[in-house]
Amino acid sequence: MMTFRNLSEEDITLDLATKGKHSALSRIAFKLARRTGLDDRAVLRGIWRREKLGSTAIGRGIAVPHALLRSISSPVASFTRLAPPIDFNSPDSDPVDLVFTLLWPRSEARTFLPALS
């Protein structure tokens, strides 16, 4: 089963101020892309494509945006604390301030849901 390593300091962003959901996801995608050498537009497209299917907010101020990408061979993750919290269309209507973002290789899609859970 494919897994990802612990987050390093460069994978953690604290008190990121944004204007809303799209702004937050754009900034997170840019940082992930810069760190991994991926195209930031491709990363954002993947994350946003999934977000359009339904909010990745799970409640209690937490969101888990994610994307399956052909351009990576191992998982990539980041943790972001937003300040202030933003509307993420959460099922409990609470604004989100904790965002765990996960990029997963499309070639390993069968292992994604077990790892996410």
Residues assigned a catalytic role: 66
SS3 103: strand
| C-beta atoms surrounding 116 within 10 Å | 11
- State the CB neighbour count (10 A cutoff) for residue 24: 22
Q: Residue 108, SS3?
A: helix
CA–CA separation, 61 vs 5, rounded Å?
24
Give me the residues paired with residue 81 across strands: 98
Start-end of H helices in 1-117? 21-36, 40-53, 112-116
